[in-house]
Amino acid sequence: MKVTLVQMNSVGDKALNLANARALIERAVVQERPDWICLPEVFDFIGGSRAEKMAAAEELPGGPAYQMCQALAREHKVFIHAGSILEKAPGEERLHNTSVAFNREGKEVARYRKIHMFDITAPDGAKYHESAAFKPGDSVVTYDCEGVTVGCAICYDLRFSYLFQALADKGADIVALPAAFTLVTGKDHWEVLCRARAIEMQAYLCAPAQTGAHKAGHETRFTYGNSLIADPWGQVVAKASEGPGLVSSYVDVDRIRKIRAMIPVAQHKVKLAV
């Protein structure tokens, strides 16, 4: 199974972002011929004001980002894991940050809403309060990709190992982790956390990321990029260079089985007394 990650520099211009996503997906189909393509977090719109986010959000199923990915999956006969999309939450003044996956026929096979909200003050003093604009989800989501089980997570979820253990318990062979990691946290934490989750799950970690600058109100914020694929041994088998682009590798199901047989951590779990 060949997988391709799409690295983007999305901004507060939805039409431009969708045009760029379409071009990169079509380039991936021609150049890489993958079975599965994954876009980064909020590929459709990042930054902007609260009102602009609300205006860019979609009612799922439907909306320009949803329909574009669905149509491209159907047209090119490829699985598309649509990173994450701004989704309207009925009766709410907040949005969901939502991954949607489509199979080769363009049928929706999974929908995951980001669980953990990025409410922090970064080392550079920048304040992030994601829960002010986004309502968290509460479901652990996996789906079948022609015999390979894909688990869903988004960006800040990466720091919460119990979610990844829940995905492992549901049989995940791959975890899709679309992200928009900040530059300041990404340079120290991104790769080590991705590798750690791959090692502890004994699964592939496929992490397409946002890269470069975008405007958030009066601030210019920077995302880290470095989209990567880590194998079940924790080795980075593919990694993006700077700027928008593609990174591809193969998911080797036999390698997953061999590593799980060699160090059978799932069989060694114990229930601790507390």
107 assigned to active site: no
The active-site residue, picked from 53, 58, 69, 114, is 114
Burial code of 86-105, b = ≥16 C-beta within 10 A, e = fewer? bbbbeeeebbbbbbbbbbbe
Quote the CA–CA distance of 175 and 22 in Å, as a whole number.
23
41 assigned to active site: yes
Instruction: Classify strands 148-152 and 211-216 as parallel, antiparallel or unpaired.
Output: unpaired
Are 37 and 79 spatial neighbours (Cβ–Cβ below 8 Å)?
yes
The active-site residue, picked from 14, 41, 58, 152, is 41
From the CB of residue 251, how many other CB atoms can be counted at a distance below 10 Å? 23
The active-site residue, picked from 69, 145, 152, 155, is 155
Instruction: Classify strands 174-176 and 148-152 as parallel, antiparallel or unpaired.
Output: parallel
Quote the CA–CA distance of 170 and 142 in Å, as a whole number.
7
271 assigned to active site: no
- H helix intervals, the chain: 14-31, 50-56, 64-76, 161-169, 183-201, 253-262
Containing 81, the helix (H) or strand (E) segment is: strand 79-81
Sign, CA torsion 105/106/108/109: positive
Q: Please, which residues bridge with residue 144 across strands?
A: 149
Are 122 and 185 spatial neighbours (Cβ–Cβ below 8 Å)?
yes
- Which amino acids are annotated catalytic? 41, 114, 155
